[in-house]
Amino acid sequence: MSAVVAQPVAIFGCRSQVAGGLCFFDEQILLYAAGASCVQFHIEQKWQKFFPGSEKSQGMQALAISPNRRYLAVSETVAEQPAVTVYEVSLVPSRRRRTLAAAELPVREFVALAFSPDSRYLAAATSPPEVHLAYWLWEKQRLMAAVRIEAPGSGLCQVSFSPQDNAQVCITGNGIFKLIKYSEGTLKTTSLQKGELQNYLCHAWLSAEKVVCGTDTGKLIIFESGEVRWETSVEYKIPPRELEDATTKGPGSLTSFSAFYSSDISCDLVSEDNGSQQDSLPQICAVAAYSKGFACSSSPGVVLLFEKTEEKEAYKETQEIWIPRDFCNSEPEQSGREDIICICFSPSEEMMIISTTKNQLYMFNMPSTEIVKEKSAHFIYLHFPLHSDSITGLDTCIRKPIVATCSLDRSVRIWNYKTNTLELYKQYQEEAYTVSLHPTGLFCLVGFSDKLRLMSLLYEDMHVFMEFTVRGCRECAFSNGGHLFAAVNGNVIHIYSTTTFENTNNLKGHSGKICAVKWSADDAKLVSCDTHGAVYEWNLLTGKRESECVLRSCKYSSIALSPFAKIIFAVGSDQTLKEISESSILHEVPAFDVVYTAIAVSHSGHMLFIGTSLGTIRTMRYPLPLPTEFNEYQAHAGPVTKMSITDDDLFLLTASKDGSFLIWKVYDKEGRILKREKEVEYAEEVLIMRSDIEEKGQAMLDLQIRVKELQTENDYQLRLKDVNCNEKIKEIKEIFTQEIDCLKTKHEILQAEKEKQELQHQYQLFELMKKQAREVQDLESSNNQKLLMENEKYQELQVKSQRMQEEYEKQLHDLEESKSKALEELTEYYEEKLNEKSVLLEELHIYEEIKKQIEDDEDREIQEIKIKYERRLQEEKESNLRLKGETGIMRKRFDSLQKDIEERNSEIEEIKLEQQKLQGIITSLEKDILALKREIQERDDAIQDKEKRIYDLKKKNQELEKFKFVLDYKIKELKKQIQPRENDIMVMKEQIREMEGELERFHKQNAQLELNITELQRKLKATDREVHRERQKEQNMKALIKRFKTDLHNCVGFIQDSRKLKDRICELYTKYVHQTDMVETVELDTDLQQEYIRQQEYLERNFATLKKKVVKESEIHRADYVRIMQENVSLIKEINELRQELKVTRTQVHDLQSTLGLTKKKQVIRDPAPSSEVLFSPAVLRLNAEKESEKIIEMQQLEIQRLRDQIQEKGQVLAIQPLSDGRLPMLNLEGSHRT
């Protein structure tokens, strides 16, 4: 049999008391402590990975991630010794790199960790009263230095590295603020706070020199190199309140968590906080730095953002971010009053995560710009609302993948272990001790301190529909069939019916407090255990104990049953697992110095899962092997309180005293998922209240009405905007046409100015060319003279330099010769003297000192002479070098002048070429000027002629203006006459529409009558068939009677022979009598005949009346049709007359406008800028009016012919079939209305 493997899938919980318990691995992956593990949580995809704690660990104390995001340090206490484990989280899968021990230090745990900026060193601090600071080179597991720090008060410490210095560490605590530097194997304090020490709760580095600290009195202090640079006091913040119309839910209310999770919160200031809270001092519990400043938590439930101002070393508060109210809480006003103890920013600073004292995790997306930033904002839950206290109850069901948990935080939660989500959440005013789910997953049983409540799990709520007077119920359980449930009250077990809610049985007999109850698979038995070591098996039919096992030395905490209830597994305080059967203990398995607190058995009976007081989970196979073999997993940071395995044996669910809830997936040893023999599909149905459905239906109707209103309003607004836009387009078009005309005139003026300026520029260019030619000649002459002078100077300087060089060479040669001669003379002279002195010295040793002195003097003189001549030689060399430099400079000047001369010559050549080109251009331009002058003269003559013509046209224009005034007056009069005619046309159109509606009603009535006629015809056909059938029967009967008469006549021939007569009579009887109920058939046939005759008469009467009615209605319809056609013909005549009149008026208007157009064309000839009136007049736009009128007449004639054809066709149809179709034809007046 293969071993059992359990792998954690998801954990719902958080250990906020772990120092540095929040840190980002990258933009989307967060690391935090939960249970006995460090969880790697992806914020968007919601998956979790685990770094389990060390074996026999007492829980994590601190976390720290390296600045390069590659390593994670975890502080634990293992076997009463502190240990720091470094994981390499950048690898997949992550692995443990180093374990750092500090056996030489007298400490039990490290409460703060920090990595150096280059991630090579690690600092760790212990808690007061004796604070020790350790400094590791962690990759080599070398403790570089350690120092003991005196702490005047108690409380936690925080340690951190300078962001740019591996050797500088800051440590703060109660009465502690020190900057410590590592140097030469020791840790030395570099700066201390001056003045009164305070209780520093947190700190963060703002730069390489600045540290911001928060105190328990609400002060924020910035230190630079240990000196106070900036200080402020944070006021106690009043929490905001959400708008009352957002929700009206009171205590004990609940919404679905999806809505709760994503709801936006709008708020204003609240004024009903307690005065004691307002008067209390805020505490700066957490602080974190980011690029613009820092964030800190002052009052409960709020984070303040501070940003640097333009003033030196000053920061100002820019935003408040509040924890949202929990409306599932019994006291929503106080739900957000949680102390924030950790703040963490993502690497890009786009997201902020916080943790609170109630083990909740919240997130906030930082605004990208100042425009989006609001003064007050709100956090949202990172994942789901979590339990903040010990979980006391846990249970699963069969028909749904859900699990229910209850906790001492007075909440009940429904989780989905397939999707790892929270489905329902509700908080009450009393503590919840136990919970049990109905097998269907639609009901839940919760034990409170005052009552036991049975609830319906609705779609968005938990509705209490029954309460039982069971006080302080610590255990309850539904039966496997769901028809019964057991509730524990002290040492009595009450059995209730789920359908009638009656107390069917009370199981008494326990002397101690009952800790657990379990139902057998067939619900016939119940097993319970208590704190006095008793395990009882109850028969529910009799209400008596069937078996018992009592062990007074053990306090049982949990029991489990094998699938067929033959074996009872019990765990308790004696550190053993007991296998009980038939009132005796079959087998005891030791726990190896650990107390077992919970046990669960798989439904297959082959797997055992046990929870311990250390928070670990052990998996065993059954039957239990000898020696005992099990797999142990680090799970929770507190004792395991409840365990359960799902109905398909695929998931293990565990809950702990630390408030964490863990989902495990169960595998066999080879990693295969355990499969059941029969797969069961989960139910999808949910419960919902009728009132909720009605409210939602009403809300949907209101919203639909509102949508329709908004649509109509939007359509109206769009129409108004279209009208306004069209008007604006017309105005803009007119404005632009006017501007175009103005621009054209400006363009012509500018064209003329351009031509004038071109002529001026040509003249100026000619003058400049002349001036440039003169200047070029002057420059050539002056440059030639300068070049000659410079050349002469250069020749003179060259000769002078040669001469000076020769003189200096001669002087140097003479000096060398004189120096050598003087040296020879001096050497000879002094040699002679030395010889003399040597003779004297040989004679007398007294003169030795004199000799030495003389030698020294001579040496000094020689040295002075040597120095003197060397100095002179150096001066000569320097002067020679200086002359050489001047010579080089003169040569360079000469070369540069030579180049300038060549460049000037090339420029002169280019200028000459340009001059030739310009001369050609000037000649061509002069020719153009002459031609233009001739053209100007010709145009002047043409202008004089045109001015005479314009004068004549002006006179004609004045006359036409007078004529135009008269025509305008006539046009207005004609328009006044057209307007009432158009109104008459509109009225007639309305009458035609009403007639069409009346025709449509007649069509419907005719259709209904047709349906009635078809129905009657169908009935008539059925009666005809029945009559035909009866007539056939009658003929058959007549033929039968005729045959019978013939046979009877033949039979009468044997009247004398009685025997033959009897035989013939018998043959007749056997031949014609086949049925025993002959008389009844004859009576039945007569009744049918009578009924048939009655029905036939009734149908004939109905048919006659309907026929009369149809004839009458057809006559009425025909009269109406004739009347409508006559009215239609008269209307068409009137319309044609109006069209003829309209045509005449339009031709008159067209003639008038054409005359006006002629005058305006003449004005166009006079004025080069055309006006907008002439361009857009209707007379210009209307082309060939005679052809247009002919087309209109042709179209009207075609339309009249088409209408006449339709009338004839409809008349023929009515004449042929007056009863089949009484619908009148639809009038198609679109063509007649078309202009």
pLDDT in tens, 204-240: 999 888 999 999 888 899 988 878 888 888 888 877 6
> Are the C-beta atoms of residues 59 and 635 closer than 8 Å to each other?
no
- Reported as a pLDDT band with limits 50, 70 and 90, residue 411 is very high
* Alpha-carbon distance values, 1134 to 514, 718, 747, 1138 (Å): 105, 38, 56, 6
pLDDT of residue 1161: 47
Q: Please provide the average confidence, as pLDDT, over all residues in the chain.
A: 82
What letter does residue 438 receive in the DSSP assignment? -
- Reported as a pLDDT band with limits 50, 70 and 90, residue 480 is very high
Residues in Cβ contact with 242 at an 8 Å cutoff, skipping those fewer than 6 apart? 265, 266, 267, 324, 325
**Helix axes 1078-1166 and 848-1052, enclosed angle (nearest 10):** 140
- Reported as a pLDDT band with limits 50, 70 and 90, residue 994 is confident
* Alpha-carbon distance values, 507 to 275, 517, 530, 583 (Å): 52, 12, 13, 18
Winning range, highest mean pLDDT, from 662-671, 688-697, 989-998: 688-697
CA 296/CA 302 separation, integer angstroms: 9
Q: Residue 173's beta-bridge partner residues?
A: 176
pLDDT of residue 653: 96
46: left (phi over 0), alpha (psi -120 to 50) or beta: left
- Tell me if the bond preceding 93 is cis, omega within 30° of 0: yes
> Are the C-beta atoms of residues 82 and 102 closer than 8 Å to each other?
yes
pLDDT of residue 1: 44
719, pLDDT greater than 60: yes
**Residue 393, number of CB atoms within 10 A of its CB:** 23
DSSP state string for 491-519: TEEEEEETTT--EEEEEE--SS-EEEEEE
Share of residues in the chain with pLDDT > 70 (%) = 87
Q: Buried b / exposed e across 534-564, counting CB within 10 Å, b at 16+?
A: bbbbbebeeeebebebebeebbbbbbbbbee
pLDDT of residue 336: 60
**Residue 174, number of CB atoms within 10 A of its CB:** 20
pLDDT of residue 672: 62
274, pLDDT greater than 80: no
Number of H helices and number of E strands within the chain?
Answer: 11, 59
- Reported as a pLDDT band with limits 50, 70 and 90, residue 1047 is confident
pLDDT higher at 303 or 325? 303
CA 17/CA 724 separation, integer angstroms: 66
The least confident of 194-203, 366-375, 408-417, 889-898 is 366-375
176, pLDDT greater than 90: no
pLDDT of residue 927: 85
Q: Which H or E run includes 535?
A: strand 534-539
Please write the tens of the pLDDT for every residue from 521-531.
999 999 999 99
pLDDT of residue 194: 67
Residues in Cβ contact with 865 at an 8 Å cutoff, skipping those fewer than 6 apart? 822
Chain-centroid distance of CA 112 in Å reads 35
- Reported as a pLDDT band with limits 50, 70 and 90, residue 1147 is confident
Q: Which residue in 522, 517, 516, 484 sits closest to 503, CA to CA?
A: 484
Chain-centroid distance of CA 322 in Å reads 21
- Tell me if the bond preceding 623 is cis, omega within 30° of 0: yes
- Only one residue has tokens 């500090």, namely 102
Torsion of CA 747, 748, 753, 756, to 10 degrees: 140
* Alpha-carbon distance values, 101 to 86, 111, 169, 185 (Å): 11, 14, 20, 18
Torsion of CA 60, 61, 66, 70, to 10 degrees: 0
- The 3-state DSSP class for residue 992 equals helix
How large is the average pLDDT for residues 120-133? 87
Report CA torsion sign: 947, 948, 950, 954: positive
pLDDT of residue 561: 92
> Are the C-beta atoms of residues 495 and 506 closer than 8 Å to each other?
yes
- Reported as a pLDDT band with limits 50, 70 and 90, residue 8 is very high
CA 1094/CA 714 separation, integer angstroms: 67
Please write the tens of the pLDDT for every residue from 919-966.
888 888 888 888 888 888 888 888 888 888 888 888 888 888 888 888
Q: Where are the alpha helices (DSSP H) in 293-335?
A: 332-335
CA 836/CA 854 separation, integer angstroms: 13
pLDDT of residue 674: 64
pLDDT of residue 234: 87
> Are the C-beta atoms of residues 1039 and 1047 closer than 8 Å to each other?
no
CA 1053/CA 1049 separation, integer angstroms: 7
509: left (phi over 0), alpha (psi -120 to 50) or beta: left
What strands lie across the sheet with 22-24, from one edge to the other? 22-24, 29-34, 37-42, 48-52
- Reported as a pLDDT band with limits 50, 70 and 90, residue 432 is very high
pLDDT of residue 1215: 54
Q: Which residue in 67, 8, 80, 68 sits closest to 38, CA to CA?
A: 8
